[in-house]
Structure 1
Amino acid sequence: MRTLDIIALILVVIGALNWGLIGFFRYDLIASLFGTMSSFTRILYALVGLGGLYALSFFGKETESRHTKEV
């Protein structure tokens, strides 16, 4: 995997864990660690969002790799 893919995957996992905590326990880990909507928290949320958007490209890579194996 490329370095950017790994970083995006880590950000997506962080976001998923945080949303899981919010959904199950009403506990926002990111906000409790770095403050509610502080500058750093907003940057972190934005990076998680960008990582999620980039991770959408993983679906295209999986489809592409399946087509090359079938040929």
Structure 2
Amino acid sequence: MGNKALDYTALTIAIIGAVNWGLVGFFNFNLVSFLFGSMSWISRIVYALVGICGLYLLTFYGRSEVSTER
């Protein structure tokens, strides 16, 4: 069972990062830079948190419960 709160927090932050990358890709609009400034210390923290959460979410592959029953 583990840390559901940590899992949901990491997933939420990763989704925010994915939405930001979608905005950059489709509209050339960086929401993080718009809100916090281009590479300010707070925007760097946001980018770092998104990256750390993405790496943490890689552990989902090892933790996923795949049913082998038919």
Same fold (TM over 0.5): yes
Using the TM superposition, give the Cα deviation of residue 25 of structure 1 relative to its aligned residue in structure 2, in angstroms. 0.3
How many percent identity over aligned positions?
A: 49
Using the TM superposition, give the Cα deviation of residue 19 of structure 1 relative to its aligned residue in structure 2, in angstroms. 0.2
| Unaligned stretches of 5+ residues in structure 1 | none
Quote the RMSD (CA, aligned, Å).
1.4
Separation in structure 1 between the aligned mates of residue 50 and residue 12 of structure 2, nearest angstrom:
9
What is aligned with 1:3?
A: 5
- Runs of 4+ that moved beyond 4 A: none
- Cα deviation, 1:14-33, whole Å, max 9, x if unaligned, reads 11000000000000001000
Task: Give the alignment of 1:24-63 within 5 angstroms.
Answer: 24-62=26-64
Aligned length: 67
Using the TM superposition, give the Cα deviation of residue 10 of structure 1 relative to its aligned residue in structure 2, in angstroms. 0.6
TM-score normalised by L of structure 2: 0.88
| Unaligned stretches of 5+ residues in structure 2 | none
TM-score normalised by L of structure 1: 0.87
2:16 to 14, 24, 27: 14
Separation in structure 2 between the aligned mates of residue 20 and residue 61 of structure 1, nearest angstrom:
27
Larger RCO (CA under 8 A, 6+ residues apart): 1
